[in-house]
Amino acid sequence: MTKTFFRWAPIAVACFAANAAQAQTVLQVSTWLPPSHGATVAQNQWCEAVEKGTSGSVKCNLLAKPVSAPPGTFDAVRDGLADVSYTVDGYTPGRFVFTQVAEFPFLGDSSTATTVAYQRIYDKYFAPLGEHRGVKTLAVFTHGPGIIFTVKQPVTSAAEAGKLKFRIGGGNINELSKLMGWNTTLKPATDSFELLSTGVMDGTFFPDESLQSMRLSMVKYATTFPGGLYNTSFVFMMNPAKYNSLKPEERAVIDKVSGEAAARLFAAGWDRTDAASRDIQKQTGVQRQMASAAFVDDVKAKQAALEDRWVAAAEGRGLKNARAVLAEFRAETQKLK
C-alpha cells in the first residue's frame, strides 16, 4: 500500500498543480500610455490589489503592446480583445454625453478634486443610465487641469490663441475651441511629439504631466487657468463577459477595489506626475503665466452656451435636472480641494 501511494503521489501532485493553474484567471490588460505614466502605474496598482484580494486566483498580464490605438480602446475591451484598459471618452466624439460634465473649464486645480467628485456623481446619476453600455465600468477619472502649451510664442489672449494651430484630445474642449474660433485638430495624445516637433501644430492642450510623458521638450510656454481651461474624462473598464466569468467572491474583490478606490489611484498618479512635471519645467525654463481676467471672461462667455447645450443633451438621454447635477458636481469638487 505504501508503494502504491508513492507510485501515485507524483501524479496527484501534478493533477493538483494543473487544477490550481486552471483555477487561476489571468486578465489581459492593455495600456496605450508609457509604462511609467501615472495612469499605467495606477492600473498596475489596481491589478496588485485584485491579485492580493483574491489570494492570487485572479491576476493581470500587462500586454507588451496596446491592443488598439487609443480611440478604439473602448470597443476593444467591449469585444474582448483586452480584458481591462482605460480610454478617453472624447476620443469618439458624440458617443458619450453625461461624461462631458467632467470636462468643463474652471472645475478644480487637481485631479483628485475633479476625479473623486466625478466618480461620486457618476455612481449616483450616470451609471444607472448606462452611459458606458457594453463594458463593465470599473472607475471614471480625470487628468489634472488643462493648460495651453506652445512652442514658439506665449498665448496671452483668446485672439492670440486664434492665430495658432493646436492638437486637442476631444470632448468639451473640442466644442469650446470651435466657439472660440480656434484652429484645433482632434488627435490622440500619443501623436503630440510628431505634430509639435515637425511644426504641423504650434501647440497642444494638455495637463502638466504630458510634457514629460510625451517627451515634449520643444514646448517653451504655458498658459494656465484657475481650475483649468478644460478637463478630460476617462473610463477605466473591463470586458463584461470576463467579469461575469469570475467566481462571486472574485467579483466582490473587483468591486471593492474599483469605484472610488480605483479613481483615487488614478487621481493620485496624475497629481504626482503633474507636480513632478512642474518642477522639471522650472529647470528647463518653460515660461508659465496665468491667463488674464479678460481671457478667462472670454472663455466663460462661450462656455455658458456649451453648458446649456449639455443640459439639453443630457436631459434628452434621460438625466433629470441636469443643471442641478452640474451644480452638485461643482460643489463636490470644492469640498474636495
Instruction: Kindly list the domain boundaries of the chain, sorted by start residue.
Output: 24-94+110-142+233-274
Cα–Cα separations (whole angstroms), residue 317 to 67, 251, 310, 313 = 31, 29, 11, 7
Mean pLDDT of 317-328: 97
| Cα distance between residue 9 and residue 13, in whole Å | 6
Q: Please classify residue 146 by burial: count the beta carbons closer than 10 Å to its beta carbon, then call 0-12 exposed, 13-18 middle and 19+ buried.
A: buried
Amino acid sitting at position 147: I
What proportion of the chain, given as a percentage, has pLDDT over 70?
Answer: 93
DSSP 310: H
| Cα distance between residue 227 and residue 114, in whole Å | 10
Cα–Cα separations (whole angstroms), residue 319 to 99, 205, 310 = 12, 30, 11
User: What's the confidence (pLDDT) of residue 23?
Assistant: 63
| Cα distance between residue 198 and residue 30, in whole Å | 29
Close Cβ partners of 120 (under 8 Å, ≥ 6 residues apart): 260, 332
Q: Is 3.90.550.10 the CATH classification of the domain at 24-94+110-142+233-274?
A: no
Mean pLDDT of 284-310: 95
| Cα distance between residue 336 and residue 233, in whole Å | 18
Q: Which of residues 151 and 17 earns the better pLDDT score?
A: 151
Average pLDDT value for the chain: 92
For residue 275, the SS3 value is helix
| Cα distance between residue 267 and residue 322, in whole Å | 25
User: What's the confidence (pLDDT) of residue 21?
Assistant: 45
Please write the tens of the pLDDT for every residue from 153-187: 999 999 999 999 999 987 889 899 999 999 999 99
Is a pLDDT exceeding 90 seen at residue 253?
yes
